Amino acid sequence: MVQVIGSADEFWRLRLTRLDTTNNFEFEWHDDILYREPMVDHGDEVESWHVEAVRLDDPDAVARLATFADQHDAREFLASAAEDLAR
């Protein structure tokens, strides 16, 4: 393996992912399509936010840095991690 020297942002990018943790989806058939009724937003208890680092040369290589129940906290962590990545 060849070692390459450079800043971390040359090898990794950060992303924020929202995960809906609801298990009770309602599906109905309409003509020839499977249709899901829009869900009522239940707030923080049905979603989680993940800050992840993704390798630029291999998009399947993902490292989860942190998980949050609140979008604001996740965005603050993402900004802080982006600053560290740029160093």
Mean pLDDT value of segment 12-22: 86
Mean pLDDT of the chain: 79
**pTM of the entire structure?**
0.66
Token pair belonging to 16: 């924020």
Other C-beta atoms closer than 10 Å to the C-beta of 39 total 12
* Domain boundary assignment for the chain: 8-86
pLDDT in tens, 45-78: 578 999 999 999 898 999 999 999 999 999 999 9
Pairing mode, strands 47-55 and 62-68: antiparallel
